[in-house]
Structure 1
Amino acid sequence: NMVAGEDFEPVFSGKHDNSILGVANQDYQAAAVANSVLNRMLRRDVVSEDQLVSLYKSQTFPTTSYGLAHNLKPELQQKIQDAFFSFEWEGTALEDEFSKSGEAQFVPITFKNHWEVIRKIDSANGVEYSCK
C-alpha cells in the first residue's frame, strides 16, 4: 500500500544493476529489480547483503524472452524455434553469465502462463499497452 510521490519518490535508473547500486549507495530509497541480477551482483561482491533489505519478492517470471509474430508462416516459426533450442551454449559468454543462476538454456514459455505475473503488475500500476 505504498504510494509513489507520497511514501517514496520514484526514480528510473534505466538498468537493474544501476538500481541495485543506487539503493546500496543510498542514492535511491527503493528499487524493483530482477532477483537473478541481484544474485549475480552479490556473488561478484559488487554489493553486499548488509547494504540491502528485500521488501517483497514476486513469483518468478522469465528474465529474458524472445517471441514470434503470430502471423509468421508455421514453417518459419518452427525454424526459428529450432535455431534457439539447438543453440550450443558450451563455451559461450551466454553460458558463462547465465549458468551461475541455472539459466544457461532456452526454454519454451507462453505469454498466457509465464507472463501472468507481469500482467498483474502492469494492471496494479495502471500500465496499458496500445498499438494505436
Structure 2
Amino acid sequence: MKTYARIQDGLVVELISLEDDQDIKDMFHPSMIWVQVNESDGVCEGWVASYANDTWAFTAWTGPTLSPEETLSMNKVTQTTLQAQASESMTPLLLSLQLGDATEEETALAKKWQAYSRALKTVDLTAKNPKWPSVPA
C-alpha cells in the first residue's frame, strides 16, 4: 500500500491509501497536488506542508485546532469529493452490467467500487482524522 497526501494552500487536506499497482496520476485531475508519504511519519490531515529544494516537509499544525463544526464541514467536502470520483468510476461499469455485456473483471470491479461507495457513507465525519477506505484497484 502507498499513502498519499493531497496538499492545498500549504496544508494536508486529505490522505488516501492505494494499492501498489495504482498510479495516483491516473486517478485525479493534474491540478491536484498529491505527495507520497510514509505512514511511519504520522502525517495527518491539517498538517502544514512545505516544499523546498525538491523535497516536501510536513509538520504538525501548532495553531488553533478546528472546531467540531469545521472538522465536520471539511470531512463532508472530502466525502463528497470521494463519492463523486467513485460515481464517475462506477458509471461505465454499471452501464456494461445493465447492458449485459460486462466482463468478469468489470463485474468484480463494479462490486469493489460499490463496496467502496458504501464504506464512504459509514466514515465518522466528526473524527479529526477519519479513516477513509482504500480506493479499489
TM range (shorter): under 0.3
More strand, by proportion: 2
Highest RCO, 1 vs 2 (Cα 8 Å, sep ≥ 6): 2
TM-score between both structures, scaled by the size of structure 2: 0.27
Say which one has the larger Rg. 1
